[in-house]
Amino acid sequence: MEQEKTTSGNIIDFQVLKRLYQYVKPYSLVFYSLIVLTLLTAVLGPVKPYLVSFAIDDYVSVGNYLGLVKIINILIGLLVFQAIVQYAHTYLSGWLGQTIIKDIRVRLYRHILNLNLRFFDRTPIGRLVTRNVSDIETLSQVFSEGLAALAGDILQIVFILGLMFYMNWKLTLISLSTLPLLMFSTYIFKEKVKFAFNEVRNAVSNLNSFVQEHVTGMSIVQIFNSEEREYKKFKDINDEHRKANIRSVMYYSVYYPVAEVIQALGIGLLVWWGAKGIIQEDPAITLGNLIAFIMYIQMFFRPIRMIADRFNTLQMGIVSSSRIFKLLDSRDQIPNNGSYKPDHLTGDVEFKNVWFAYEERNYVLKDISFKVQPGKSLAIVGATGAGKSSIINLLNRFYDINRGHIYIDKKDIGEYELERLRENIGVVLQDVFLFSDSIEKNITLGNPDITREKIMEAAELVGARKFIERLPGGLNYDVKERGATLSVGQRQLISFIRAMVYDPKIIVLDEATSSVDTETEELIQSAIEKLMKGRTSIVIAHRLSTIQNADSIMVLDHGEIKEVGNHQKLLEKDGFYRQLYNMQYKEVI
């Protein structure tokens, strides 16, 4: 059977429902009121035909006008009451659903924010987004039209059946005679639709990932002139999506008319048998009964038809929630158990026999050991992929290492409180990421402790004050779409300021490799010098000036340290560094 499995493999996973209930608990008053309202709705409907049959047989047929008026009044009162109950039911179930969904969404987002970066290595972002948005959407349907409604429908069916048997068992059996037919077609429909929905979900997910990736990488698509090819691919994916949707619509469009016909058949049988009984003056069948039963058949078939839908919604919701819970359970977080919160650091850094792999056993750093004294600078050089960026990813615990130790001020970084650790290390990454917001927000990242004065001080320090003042609106300048409106150099300057506003004792700098114009280059070069001054700095250097000025240079190759020393010493040694220098920098000077 083709179907998405819930964790236990059951059709309805009670484990998941139990867990969902945890989210309902804070609103238990609303929840229990809903149960009462569901009960009332289930019971109120079926009472009406019973009253009608009573009115016809006991009052209309004997001409008791007053009695009839009495019953009509009761019916009207019942209708009004039912309307109120229904209103409260719909409103409260919507309220409860949306409130719980909001809670789950907050929980999920917080969880994602704290996930180990490793997690994002393995999970495509597109899928993560789909999961977040569409799974929660599906889940909200469980509350609005799934569980409560399903329970209501089942209750109503039971109640109607009870009343029918109580009134007339023969007519009941006749009414039920077409039921197997309906159940059978409903079952077939349910299976087909489940399969089709699965296809739709996959198609939506593919579509989302594709659009997301291609919008983000649009410049690459255009640089390589692959618009036509990518367009074709998109058309195929889009077509798949359309077909999957149409297939599911097709099943609905067949099922509903068929169910209608089956219901009509049921009513036909009932009327035929009932009318025959009345004409032959069978004492067991009254006109009132017959009319009530016709009403019941309609009332009865509707929930049965709906049950297929409700079941589906519920099941999809459960699959969604088990996926959400799985994400919530992924304990792939950097453990934040450290409690060491020093007021200030001296900035002593040591790596001791550090081994690290992004993926199982595929070590990108092998037995790395080095020390940087407070206030000193270390330049890391090496070919692309040597593991330079990885080293700095470890220092502020973007990733945890597999073996060895990293010490700051002689204390293992795991013992630091994570926020305090990261606060004290200023990081400038290779690619600068900017949010679509003002320059100010991009620098403070929402930290209210960082005033505009502080920002301008830091800007002054790195020599970017003029550049900011020249922007229209200054600090209010609106950065669009990840900084697309700023040059690479400008973006780097902003990331320097971002690192400097905290006045960190340790600075980690991954120099960008992309070239900038000479003027900006000079700006950046002097900014880097100022950044490093008086701070312990680890710099992944591409500029010869940065390398030459460093107190010590470390040559990295395939995750191993090859040479350490200052510029002069390493040149004399005539090894890796000399080679690198000859290849990359000789002509420049």
Q: Which residue is nearest to ligand DGT (CB)?
A: 389
Near Mg ion in 354-383, by CB under 5 A: none
The one among 89, 131, 201, 388 contacting ligand DGT by CB under 6 A: 388
Q: Binding of ligand DGT at residue 387 (CB under 6 A)? A: yes
How far does CA 196 lie from the centroid of its chain?
A: 23
Per CB under 6 A, the list member of 22, 225, 280, 384 interacting with ligand DGT is 384
Which parts of 229-248 interact with ligand DGT (CB under 6 A)? none
- Burial class of residue 564 (count of CB atoms within 10 Å of its CB; 0-12, 13-18, 19+): middle
Closest to Mg ion by CB, 346 vs 389, is 389
Q: Where are the alpha helices (DSSP H) in 114-146?
A: 117-122, 125-130, 136-141
Instruction: Determine the interface stretch with Mg ion among 130-138, 157-165, 182-190, 387-395 (rule: CB under 5 A).
Output: 387-395
Q: In angstroms, rounded to a whole number, what is the distance separating the alpha carbons of residues 512 and 492?
A: 8
| Interface with ligand DGT: number of residues (CB under 6 A) | 13
Counting beta carbons within 10 angstroms of the beta carbon of residue 355, is it exposed (0 to 12), middle (13 to 18) or buried (19 or more)?
Answer: middle
358 binds ligand DGT (CB under 6 A): yes
DSSP 135: I
Region binding ligand DGT by CB under 6 A among candidate stretches 123-131, 184-192, 358-366, 400-408: 358-366
> Which candidate, 376, 355, 301, places its Cα nearest to that of 566?
376
Find the binding residues for ligand DGT in span 144-163 (CB under 6 A): none
Question: Which residues, including other chains, have CB under 8 Å from residue 291's CB and lie 6 or more apart?
Answer: 49, 52, 53, 56
Q: Does 168 bind ligand DGT (CB under 6 A)?
A: no
Residues near Mg ion (CB under 5 A), total:
1
Shortest distance (Å) from residue 384 CB to ligand DGT: 3
Cα separation, 558 vs 366, whole angstroms? 8
- Using rule CB under 6 A, residue 364 touches ligand DGT: yes
Q: Which of residues 87-126 bind ligand DGT (CB under 6 A)?
A: 121
Angle CA 374–379–380, to nearest 5: 125
State how beta strands 349-357 and 411-412 pair: unpaired
**What does 359 bind: ligand DGT, Mg ion, none (CB cut-off 5 to 8 Å by kind)?**
ligand DGT
Looking at the Cβ atoms of 116 and 336, the one nearer to ligand DGT is 116
Q: Residue 385 binds which entry of ligand DGT, Mg ion, none, with Cβ cut-offs from 5 to 8 Å by kind?
A: ligand DGT
Strand-pair partners of 428: 509
CB closer to ligand DGT, 7 vs 430 = 430
Q: Which of 136, 544 has the CB closer to Mg ion?
A: 544
Query: Would you say the C-alpha torsion 539, 543, 544, 548 has a positive or negative sign?
Result: negative
Our finding on whether 390 is near ligand DGT (CB under 6 A) is yes
Q: How many residues does the chain have?
A: 589
Distances from the Cα of 563 to the Cα of 268, 403, 570, angstroms: 94, 22, 8
* DSSP state letter for 545: H
Is 389 one of the binding residues for ligand DGT (CB under 6 A)?
A: yes
* Alpha-carbon separation of residue 332 from 193, 323, 366, 399, 434 (angstroms): 36, 15, 23, 10, 26
- The amino acid at residue 445 is L
- Gap between the Cα atoms of 342 and 315, Å rounded: 51
Comparing CA positions, the residue from 139, 187, 134, 158 lying closest to residue 43 is 158
Window contacting ligand DGT (CB under 6 A); options: 128-136, 177-185, 248-256, 378-386 = 378-386
Interaction partner, residue 517 (Mg ion, ligand DGT, none; CB < 5-8 Å by kind) = none
- Least Cβ distance, residue 123 to ligand DGT (angstroms): 12
For residues 270 and 406, which CB has a smaller minimum distance to ligand DGT in the complex?
406
Work out the number of other CB atoms within 10 angstroms of the CB of residue 285: 21
Work out which of 37, 304, 349, 386 binds ligand DGT, going by CB under 6 A: 386
579 residue type, one letter: Q
Residue 177 touches which of ligand DGT, Mg ion, none (Cβ within 5-8 Å per kind): none
Task: Name the minimum Å distance from CB 357 to Mg ion.
Answer: 16
359 interacts with ligand DGT by CB under 6 A: yes
- Min dist CB 557 to ligand DGT, Å, is 10
Q: Which of 7, 132, 389, 525 binds Mg ion (CB under 5 A)?
A: 389
Q: How far apart are the C-alpha atoms of 208 and 212, rounded to whole Å?
A: 6
Q: Chain-centre distance of CA 73, in angstroms?
A: 53
Site for Mg ion in 527-546 (CB under 5 A): none
Q: Which residues bind Mg ion (CB under 5 A)?
A: 389
Q: Which residues bind ligand DGT (CB under 6 A)?
A: 121, 358-359, 364, 382, 384-390, 430
